[in-house]
Chain A
Amino acid sequence: MSIDPYALTVNGREHEISEGWPGESLLWVLRERLGLPGSKNACEEGECGSCSVRLDGEIVCSCLVLAASAVGQEITTVEGIAPDGTLSDVQQAFVDAGAVQCGFCTPGLVMAIDVLLDSDTDPDDLTVREAISGNLCRCTGYGRVIEAVNLAAAFRRGETDL
């Protein structure tokens, strides 16, 4: 299927999309056309947060965004939050805290927590729980995930190393 080409800026790089179907979601285009499958597809109906990306800094469910509507916006995915071969503080905290089991929710949670800590490096338990309440995890019961948030927050406050 051919379409009017459009360009997306993902993780600082411009990509032209010149084929496909005009109704494709941003999640679909990231995963299937741009080779960025880190954003996950657990529901594709805006309920689980596994597809979370940043659009001009704001967190969105990329499954609910029409790809062609994201033209001109800065898109950041889990693949783009740390230089290649390194981990961001939140990613490192997930590994250290044992917050990863199957890992399907992990990229979305990492994005949501990154957004939270950008505005608040000392969130209380309820604030953390609310900030990640749009992200379903079926494996962990969230205990180690919240531990990871606490580790990363302490790091951002300069209290600990990771």
Chain B
Amino acid sequence: MSGTRTTDRTGVAPRTGGPGIGESVPRPDGVPKVTGSFAFSSDLWHDRMLWGGTLRSPHPSARIVSVDIGAAVTITGVHAVLLHDDVPGSKAYGLEHSDQQVLAGEVVRHEGEPVAIVAADHPETVRRALDAIVVEYEVVDPLTDPAAAETAPPIHPDGNLIRRIHLRHGDQQVVGEVQVEGTYEVGMQDQAFLGPESGMAIPVEGGGVDLYIATQWLHADRDQVAACLGLRPERVRLTLAGVGGAFGAREDLSMHVHLCMLAMHTGRPVKMVYSREESFHGHVHRHPARMWYRHHADRDGTLVRVEASLLLDGGAYASSSSAVIANATCFAAGPYRVPSADIEGVVVRTNNPPCGAMRGFGAVQTCFAHEAQMDLLAGALGMDPVELRLRNVLATGDRLVTGQAITGTAPGAEVIRTCVDHPSAASIAEDPMALPGGAGRTADPAHVVRGEALAVGFKNLMFSEGFDDYSSAACRLADGVATITCACAEVGQGFVTLVQQIAHEVLGVQEVVLEPASTETIGSAGSTSASRQTWMSGGAVQKACEEVRVRLLARVADEHGVELDGLVLVDGLVASLTGDLRVDLVSATSDPIHAEVEFRHAPTFPLDEDGQGDAHVSFAFSAHRAIVDVDVGLGLVKVVELTTSQDVGRVLNPVQVVGQLEGGAAQGVGLAVMEEVQLSDGRIRNASFTDYLVPTALDMPPVEIAALIEQPEPGAPFGAKGVGEPPSITSTAAVAAAIRAATGLALPRVPVRPSDIVFGGGAA
């Protein structure tokens, strides 16, 4: 296809050639982050501050009979102990439905649900006060099996069904000559960002509150917090505090309302920091999934129909479950042409920990399943799995199972070809530390077998189903310096760098100042999720800068009596094409120029009762090839190499794109072989980094980037697609498939556990 460029890994220079688009411009916050001077939310400090803490339910399901705070309030240094009845406004909040209790009232619905909050002079005093609160519970048998949820008594007034989508596409009578069937499971994954939940609330004289918090979406938080405090939104001001990673776990409120209640009650600033254990209870997780599939194909490998039934466990509260199941359902069949489909997606409520957003958002679970099915189908057809995928992969103009035609770029075939054609650099490990089991040096080389496999996936970018998705940005150009205001949450992804690059590209300025992200200074930027901020807030910043540029040129044309058409902006100068007028930016903007804009993507539409409709804006494709070594005696896996190609539209900052691809792949490796929130009877058994294992540098292989496919996406700023999520979608599926290739086992569940390999769990 014309306009396609592929960027080789060797094209990723560590240093920049210039400050504009397409360069590896260094992060403006890089220096403060390496010196330790960057202020994260847990670094907030105020000389009058108190410390806050939260008492959480030890039971997944119980009625609260009584709460006695008498002993706690008399402890010296304790300034406040607050309960459900102290919540001044709405007692519940939520992203899509206000169903989650700020503080539990009559019942608790999951282990770790907040029951009481405390403010005191020292964290140790807080701990003692929390210990001194006496809660009498009447324990109820928890509902922990999602398959039983729909028939079980409701555990919430809103019922146990959060959403059901029954997607039907094409001729429902067709049957394929070859059919394969499988049932798959994905465990509960934790985002495990490193910067724990933390923040500070400061009461404002005359009522109102300032909240400094690490979040993904300031304005959505502000509106929920204000409702719970019974305040008008403008009385609640949120400012982004330094964010130590997010990955979906900061889309919901955590301590926000608690901090504000404590600050307003005590009249003092209050700081709170969750411990790592508390963090596991304090945010939503990736939905565990059970997925049944039947694929139908003709003998030549052409897919004719996909049937699937998906069940996601939403846990106790709705969070973003409705949108997650929509994604899981819409992308259940993978990046393939499927003329006939019957896919039922269901997400239910249980007394398990609440689930919501995590990188990949519903597409991770189904990619694991549809790619296992494609390999099974290739086996049944006696066909090469790569060829099977190439035969069916989506391209521009094809329709999804939702009936929507892809109008933008869709280089599915290109990501597959470049990924499989990339030579492998993997050698046979000699050092025992590089074998499965790693530093434990437990592997016996005689028991180690190697496997290799490919997985392909895709996902929507930005919000879907008719959501009014927009971002706001302002640009002020004064004395040659551009000041950008945008409430986009920088969570580590590098939006702060893109702002510099975009402003430079559009205005030619050398100095770009980005104001702190706040609800006070500008409208919403939307959420830092759904791979949307490069497009949405990048687009808003570009539009604001362009507006300033137009006004600048008009001003110069007017002041110098020249034609507007004959003016250009280059290298910090407004110049006429004839060369006789040259005005420098500094003097041209001694009187500032300001523009504030809202930027929207093309509208989307709700799904109809058959799950059909133009519900999405744009799609990004990726492929991973994994090579693994497996010690079949011990059941241990070493991921030796990952190779990836990704559809990126256009590379705005090569080193940042590579960082997203490597980091996303690591989270996928984690889900494939290590990471699972272990539950028993609704309780988390491994709420620590001792027991919840996140990949280390020894667990992660090198990530070879075979190609960044650059086909500029219409409507996107500079043609760039978001790049954050695809790497975490296909890496899990590829690693699991490579373990299957090595062992010959069916392995229908991730994470793959040693016992699954040793005892042939889910043997074919």
Contacts and interface: CB of A to CB of B under 8 A. Distances in A.
Q: Do A and B assemble together?
A: yes
B433 A126 contact: yes
A100 interface: yes
Contacts of B122: 1, 20-21
Interface string A113-145: 000000000000010111011111111111111
Contacts of A151: 14
A97 to B, nearest CB: 5
A48 B195 CA distance: 11
Interface in A25-80: 31-32, 35-45, 47-48, 50, 77-79
A158 interface: no
Contacts of A135: 696-697
B339 interface: no
Interface in A73-117: 77-79, 82, 87, 91-92, 94-98, 100-107, 110
A102 B243 contact: yes
B209 to A, nearest CB: 23
Contacts of B658: 98, 143-144
Contacts of B493: 101
B431 A126 contact: yes
A135 B697 CA distance: 8
A88 to B, nearest CB: 8
Contact of A40 (B40, B431, B656): B40
A130 B245 CA distance: 24
A12 interface: no
A47 to B, nearest CB: 4
B127 to A, nearest CB: 10
B276 A44 contact: yes
Contacts of A7: none
A102 B193 contact: yes
A146 B242 CA distance: 24
B29 interface: yes
A147 B659 CA distance: 11
B245 A138 contact: yes
Most buried by B among A39, A87, A130, A139: A139
Nearest to A46: B690
Contacts of A47: 276, 688-690
Given A48-B689, A126-B433, A139-B663, A42 B196 contact: yes
B34 A138 contact: no
B205 to A, nearest CB: 27
B729 interface: no
A85 B26 CA distance: 18
B753 to A, nearest CB: 21
Contact of B663 (A23, A87, A104, A138): A138
A45 B194 contact: no
Contact of A144 (B15, B662, B667, B698): B662
Contacts of A126: 431, 433-434
* Chief secondary structure at chain A's binding surface: loop
A99 B26 CA distance: 10
Contacts of B15: 96
A139 B245 contact: yes
B43 A31 contact: yes
A98 B26 contact: yes
A84 to B, nearest CB: 9
A29 to B, nearest CB: 13
Given A37-B43, A47-B688, A95-B31, A133 B662 contact: no
A44 B193 CA distance: 14
Contact of A103 (B26, B492, B666, B702): B492
Nearest to A47: B689
B700 A141 contact: yes
Contact of A48 (B38, B39, B194): B194
B30 interface: yes
Contacts of B247: 138
Chain A interface size range: 35 or more
Given A107-B36, A139-B245, A41 B42 contact: yes
A147 B40 CA distance: 25
A38 B656 CA distance: 24
Given A48-B689, A145-B697, A87 B31 contact: yes
Contact of A95 (B34, B192, B664, B688): B34
B689 A136 contact: yes
A133 B195 contact: no
Nearest to B696: A133
A52 B750 CA distance: 33
A101 B690 contact: no
A22 to B, nearest CB: 10
A146 B700 CA distance: 11
B276 A95 contact: no
Interface in B675-698: 688-690, 694-698
A82 B244 CA distance: 24
B33 A106 contact: yes
Contacts of A36: 36
Contacts of B243: 102
Contact of B36 (A39, A128, A138): A39
A131 B482 CA distance: 43
B358 to A, nearest CB: 12
Interface in B288-304: none
Contact of A133 (B31, B42, B697): B697
B703 interface: yes
Contacts of A44: 275-276
B689 A91 contact: no
B439 to A, nearest CB: 7
B328 interface: no
A103 B122 CA distance: 27
Contacts of A133: 439, 696-698
Interface in B546-564: none
Most buried by B among A102, A106, A132: A102
A143 B45 CA distance: 34
Contacts of A146: 697
Interface of A: 1, 20-21, 23, 31-32, 35-45, 47-48, 50, 77-79, 82, 87, 91-92, 94-98, 100-107, 110, 126, 128-130, 132-147, 151
Cβ-closest 5 pairs across A and B: A38-B36, A102-B492, A103-B33, A104-B244, A141-B666
5 contacts: A31-B43, A48-B194, A100-B29, A129-B697, A141-B665
Interface of B: 14-15, 24, 26-27, 29-31, 33-40, 42-43, 45, 122, 124, 191-196, 242-245, 247, 273, 275-276, 431, 433-434, 439, 491-494, 655-656, 658-659, 662-667, 688-690, 694-698, 700, 702-703
Given A102-B244, A141-B703, 19 more contacts: A1-B122, A21-B122, A21-B124, A42-B689, A43-B688, A45-B688, A48-B689, A77-B36, A87-B34, A97-B14, A100-B30, A101-B245, A102-B492, A104-B40, A128-B697, A133-B698, A138-B193, A142-B697, A147-B14
